[in-house]
Chain A
Amino acid sequence: MAAGGAGMARELTRLTAAEIAAAVAAGDVSAVEVAQAHLDRIVAVDPDVRAFLHVAGIGALAAAEDVDRKRAAGEPLGPLAGVPLALKDVMTTTDMPTTCGSKILDGWRPPYDATVTRRLRDAGVVILGKTNMDEFAMGSSTENSAYGPSHNPWDLTRIPGGSSGGSSAAVAAYEAPLAIGTDTGGSIRQPAAVCGIVGMKPTYGGSSRYGLVAFASSLDTPGPLARTVLDAALLHEVMSGHDPRDSTSVDAPVPPVVAAARHADVSGLRVGVVTEFSGGGYQSGVRARFTEAVELLESLGAKVVEVSCPHFSYALPAYYLIAPSECSSNLARFDAMRFGLRAGDDGTRSADEVMSLTREAGFGAEVKRRIMLGTYALSSGYYDAYYGKAQQVRTLITRDFDAAFEQVDVLVSPTTPTTAFPIGERADDPMAMYLADLFTIPSDLAGNAAISVPCGLAPEDGLPVGLQIMAPALADDRSYRVAAAVEAALQERWGGPLLAQAGELGEQAGGGR
């Protein structure tokens, strides 16, 4: 490719989704050119980032061609037509494998598309491939992927967060302007925070779970990751809405998130800071950036108050009973009978033995740990003390939110207690790993909306810090409105997006391409 061509391709990967969609719609660039530029970028950087488990070059170009053909024919295009996207490998796709980061699904080709997948295709979004994740979304670093960890584009020796770490890394590495993640305990917001991008967990039931391979059914929520608040909102709108195939899907209009993302104004808004989150345990730079963000909101006209949510302290233990309990049941179907891995079926073994051998060989350590935790928590004689009690705590946390949202419009906190930690640092310490989700878990348990937006770098390590903005259920637009205001004010201060401060991937030590 000529130098000018390479330069233009680089520019295409730096555009926001909104800019790409506008350029494609105007005919300034073809969807195929956009897709090709991103596929080239993946070839260039993904050997280091390892965001993708599967890249669907041919399928992506075909989808892009379809958008170009529609435009040429004068057919109406959706707001994200021709925009490339990275899909977390937990969403089923008929034309790509779906592994959930697990050996047990190695090579499985689902015979059906997830509702989110279908909606993206219908909207002309170009799916580039499937992204890496902690096995069955259990983890906060992608280190639990059976296919190896993804790397944080800010520092390749560090984790990109998880479980949607492949998605956050792909967006931060300019391999895709948009990505789909899923959030069960923070799995969208935490990777977005540590990669310096935007990640939104919609209200539970706001986006369909049909075709999302379940980890914890009552918590799993698909949502968008993007480099800007507006891009996240655009994707949020395209992927969401009632789905008759998901009984828990909310039968209500999608909140006006795009309009909110364009309405970056917090004047008069009441912002709550959760008292129980101000204890120790977080990195000083995270605390500093968070404090600044709160001051910023105040300077923008918001009224900041402290709010007590007394039961939030019990969120982590409640989560680690509820999520494993549901997972122990959801993952039972991986029994070697109808799909995926089958180990030890040599004609001499019983179905029970083949099931055991397959699960032994196919599941990783963290998955096994959670299946055992959940099996124990649901056992006769323990149910009331564990699962039952955790559900009561969940109700109390929901009530804390309800009470808080009577006093304030949104609650804010750091998204995660620390910046991206080095790969391997917490691999043998599950408890330390679980703490990464301390601030994100309450919104998962209560099912309300929460977004993470970049709020600066921690001075001590120069790594991104995220601000979490929690809003009531079905008031997702409020999160976007506040996030957009923070984003606009901080970008003015920084002179551009935070991500522009990340080093070029090829220039990093250990990168070398």
Chain B
Amino acid sequence: MTDLAQLVPYDEALSRYEPVIGLETHVELGTATKMFCGCPTTFGLEPNSAVCPVCLGLPGSLPVANRAAIEFTIRIGLALNCSIASWCRFARKNYFYPDMPKDFQISQYDEPLCTDGWLDVDVDGRAFRVGIERVHLEEDTGKSLHMGGATGRIHGADYSLVDYNRAGIPLVEVVTKPVAGTGVLAPEAARAYVTELRDLLRCLGVSDVRMEEGSLRCDVNTSLAPHGAADWGTRTETKNVNSLRSVERAVRFEIARQAAVLDAGQKVVQETRHFHEDSGSTTAGRSKEEAQDYRYFPEPDLVPVAPARDWVEQIRASLPELPAARRARLQADWGLSGAEMTHLSNAGAVDLVSATVEAGASPAEARKWWLGELARRANESGTELSQLAITPAHVARVSAMVRAGTLNDQLARQVLEGVLAGEGDPDTVVEARSLAIVSDEGALAEAVDAAIAANPDVAAKVRDGKTAAAGALVGAVMKATRGRADAERARELILERLS
């Protein structure tokens, strides 16, 4: 275990060392069936119910590659500006593990389907180009559940169960080139890359990219070298970092830890490390000396993948507008600054605002609600904006009512609250909670007269020309109508009567 007391404070570490990061991201593809058989890929089924001789690796069974998975991988490769191989092979990665049905994984080794691309990411308004080394296709393993122990880990467990439903689900691995030059922004850059990749994959429709369900998983490589050093430092690979926040924390921790090691005159050990969500720390796993020899060789049960050029071009032509291009377009359409757009993007609100605008709201209205009241609500309940029980159409409807004067901002917030509470669509909530602005002149006049009568001193001041004092009378009208009055109209009526 690392002694936490020995960590070098982050800023101090960065004052002496230059970090280089790298990310390996595994993405479960959203194909209907598994990579090499016809079993469904549905998440959360009864354990070992989505299995067959092929994905159980029974003797005699053979894999047949899923064309949709190959197409999805090519889509990802093209979206990441990669070259697509005209001919490549699957390879076997051999190692023994109970949740690996065949005791080898069908993967790609030195002949990946997609190579040499890039993805631009934005970190606090600074653009970084992250090089993509390769994108390759492989199959997922089953899942071991360790029973009887306190930790759910294999050590201390009484026995283990294996669920093979996940075995054979198509998995794409996206590997970056080393990312240097991010300096103090390395943790944020790592997070921004994964965020951008996630949005890209979602936009491509190739995965549901749910980190909490494990359909997007990251390994984070980090190394440090003294400023000005000719060579990069020895890297560590932190495995299974499974949330955006954890990606950032893992890099931050490794920088602080490796700086301590280097400060002490020791060498960073090339090893895999485990990330601990609770403490935000990493601990040592397998070192390079203990690393397995996977004995890769071309998979003889599968014919090579040779995507026809015109097929690749068809796929390229069918790519949707990618998140970065779309953001640039929307930023221009909506007249936002770069910082405003980044804020919207970081909040995960671009799609929501866009859909709200499409449903009739102005960009300013849509941003106001999603980044204001709704962001506050999401934050309070600890969920993502997109998980809130409200649709862009609802928000557009509320905006329209405000614009029409049927609601004011305060009433609108109450309507949103009602929608989020499951009371129905905005119109239903307005009806049920009687939230519409009182626009009946007679009722408003009554409330105005009552307010003047009840506040003779204030009324006198207004009569004397101190029109600013009318605010108190408006407040009284609002109170009497429980906020449903049109404040502007009430003010007009008050000034008419006291002029």
Give chain A's interface residues, CB within 8 Å of chain B. Answer: 91-92, 98, 100, 105, 108, 110-112, 114, 209-214, 216-218, 244-248, 325-326, 328-329, 332-335, 337-339, 351-352, 355, 375, 378-380, 383, 387
Contacts and interface: CB of A to CB of B under 8 A. Distances in A.
Contacts of B300: 216-218, 248, 326
Contact of B303 (A213, A245, A247): A247
Contacts of B104: 329, 332
Interface in B209-236: none
B301 A217 contact: yes
A302 B137 CA distance: 52
Interface of B: 53, 56-65, 92, 94, 96, 98, 101-104, 160, 162, 293, 295-297, 300-303
B65 A247 contact: yes
A337 B48 CA distance: 14
Which secondary structure dominates where chain B touches chain A?
Answer: loop
Contacts of A216: 300
A180 to B, nearest CB: 13
Given A112-B58, A213-B59, A351-B98, 16 more contacts: A98-B60, A110-B59, A110-B60, A112-B53, A218-B300, A245-B62, A328-B94, A332-B96, A333-B101, A333-B102, A335-B96, A338-B57, A338-B58, A338-B101, A339-B58, A387-B297
B64 A245 contact: yes
29 contacts: A91-B60, A92-B58, A92-B60, A100-B59, A105-B59, A110-B53, A110-B58, A111-B53, A112-B53, A112-B58, A213-B60, A245-B62, A247-B65, A247-B301, A248-B302, A248-B303, A329-B94, A329-B297, A332-B96, A332-B102, A332-B104, A333-B57, A334-B59, A335-B103, A339-B58, A339-B59, A351-B98, A378-B94, A378-B296
B62 A247 contact: yes
Contacts of B56: 338
A332 B95 CA distance: 8
A210 B293 contact: no
Given A218-B300, A329-B92, A351-B160, A335 B295 contact: no
B58 A111 contact: yes
A218 B185 CA distance: 50
B88 to A, nearest CB: 15
A509 to B, nearest CB: 40
Contacts of A379: 293, 295
A216 B103 CA distance: 16
Contacts of A114: 60
B301 A248 contact: yes
Contacts of B293: 379-380
Nearest to B54: A245
A99 B258 CA distance: 54
Contacts of A244: 64
Contacts of B92: 329
Which secondary structure dominates where chain A touches chain B?
Answer: loop
B62 A378 contact: no
B286 to A, nearest CB: 15
B185 to A, nearest CB: 37
A333 B103 contact: yes
A280 B293 CA distance: 42
A379 B60 CA distance: 25
A334 B102 CA distance: 8
B96 A92 contact: no
Nearest to A338: B56
Nearest to B293: A380
A200 to B, nearest CB: 21
A388 to B, nearest CB: 9
Contacts of B62: 209-210, 245-247
Most buried by A among B56, B63, B300: B300
A375 B295 contact: yes
A213 B62 CA distance: 10
Closest 9 CB pairs of A and B: A332-B103, A217-B300, A378-B295, A218-B300, A213-B59, A211-B60, A213-B60, A92-B60, A380-B293
Contacts of A380: 293, 295
A91 B61 CA distance: 11
Nearest to B53: A112
Nearest to A332: B103
A375 B57 CA distance: 20
A183 to B, nearest CB: 16
Nearest to A335: B103
Contacts of B65: 247
A387 B59 CA distance: 24
Contacts of A351: 98, 160
B98 A335 contact: yes
A105 B58 CA distance: 11
A379 B62 CA distance: 24
Contacts of A378: 94, 295-297
Nearest to A211: B60
A329 B295 contact: yes
Contacts of A91: 60
Contacts of A339: 58-59
Most buried by B among A218, A335, A337, A378: A337
B295 to A, nearest CB: 4
Nearest to B92: A329
B175 to A, nearest CB: 20
